[in-house]
Amino acid sequence: MHLPGKNDYIDIHTHDAVPVKNIFSIDVLMAHEERLPERKKGILYSYGIHPWHLNEFNQEDQLASVKKITADPLVIAVGETGFDRIRGPSMELQCRIFEEQVRIAERLGKPVVVHCVRAWDELLLQHKRLNPGMPWLVHGFRGKPDLARQLVSRGMYISFWFEFIIKPESAKLIRSVPKERIFLETDGADVDIRDIYNKVTLDLGIPVDELKSLIRNNFFDFFRT
Ligand SMILES: [Zn+2]
């Protein structure tokens, strides 16, 4: 398996990734799509059931795909999966399918990528209840420093929402999260991960090479590689 190199910018959460020199991406495949992991330079995968695309009728098929495809060595995480109170099926179904995926991840020794919208109580509750051995990454985060602290205290990692992170007011949040728990992402939007790195180096007052090595270390910790 290829891993991020010293000079690579890591995009921890994107969709439909294409190889770009010096960018290492985790391409998030969703079980309702028909995309499958493919060997491509600088790209590895996460695979899971997105709550927006989950319902009573497709749950079994999607779970069967997760069981099968997450075993592929190119898939190094399970997700995105999680909780969404704005869009998606009942919280009961979201929780059940989330738990199934956490169990698959634990069996495989792979971490979990979490989508969470207005359901932080549920996420924290499930983390306490399931008490996983593998870490979870909350992607697209734009909450308060206090909430970030609660997630970090449960051993979680945080990747910031691409649209928020480039704004000046995000500096306070970025500085408040322990550096060994941060990741950056584009979420497949039309933004450049290198611009996001540049903004965060200013917020943290460190050179870009230092930020690269920091996030690369976080990558190795998170994926236990
Ligand atoms: Zn996403």
In tens, the pLDDT along 81-117 reads: 999 999 999 999 999 999 999 999 999 999 999 999 9
Report the C-alpha gap between 48 and 153 in whole angstroms.
Answer: 25
Separation of 172 CA from ligand 1 center, angstroms? 24
Residue 198 has pLDDT above 90, yes or no: yes
Separation of 170 CA from ligand 1 center, angstroms? 20
pLDDT tens readout for residues 149-183? 999 999 999 999 999 999 999 999 999 999 999 99
Separation of 162 CA from ligand 1 center, angstroms? 11
Report the C-alpha gap between 206 and 104 in whole angstroms.
Answer: 38
- Using 50, 70 and 90 to split pLDDT, how confident is the model at 187? very high
Separation of 149 CA from ligand 1 center, angstroms? 22
Name residues whose C-beta falls within 8 Å of residue 105's C-beta, 6 or more positions apart in sequence. 70, 77, 78, 79, 111, 112, 132, 134
Mean pLDDT of 50-64: 96
Q: Which pLDDT does position 204 carry in this prediction? A: 97
Q: Which pLDDT does position 179 carry in this prediction? A: 97
Q: Compute the mean pLDDT over every residue in the chain, rounded to the nearest whole number.
A: 97
pTM listed for this prediction:
0.96
Cβ–Cβ under 8 Å, residues 30 and 50 = yes
- Higher-confidence residue of 1 and 194: namely 194
Separation of 181 CA from ligand 1 center, angstroms? 19
Separation of 174 CA from ligand 1 center, angstroms? 20
Residue 1 has pLDDT above 80, yes or no: no
Separation of 206 CA from ligand 1 center, angstroms? 28
Separation of 12 CA from ligand 1 center, angstroms? 10
Task: Please calculate the CA angle 160-101-47 and round it to the nearest 5 degrees.
Answer: 60
- Using 50, 70 and 90 to split pLDDT, how confident is the model at 225? confident
pLDDT tens readout for residues 115-157? 999 999 999 999 999 999 999 999 999 999 999 999 999 999 9
DSSP string covering the chain: -----TT-EEEEEESS---BTTEEEEEEEETTS------BTTEEEEEE--GGG--TTTHHHHHHHHHHHTTSTTEEEEEEEEEESSSSS-HHHHHHHHHHHHHHHHHHT--EEEEEES-HHHHHHHHHHH--SS-EEEEEE---HHHHHHHHHTT-EEEE-HHHHTSGGGHHHHHHS-GGGEE---TTSS--HHHHHHHHHHHHT--HHHHHHHHHHHHHHHTT-
Separation of 221 CA from ligand 1 center, angstroms? 21
Separation of 26 CA from ligand 1 center, angstroms? 10
Residue 34 has pLDDT above 90, yes or no: no
Cβ–Cβ under 8 Å, residues 140 and 118 = no
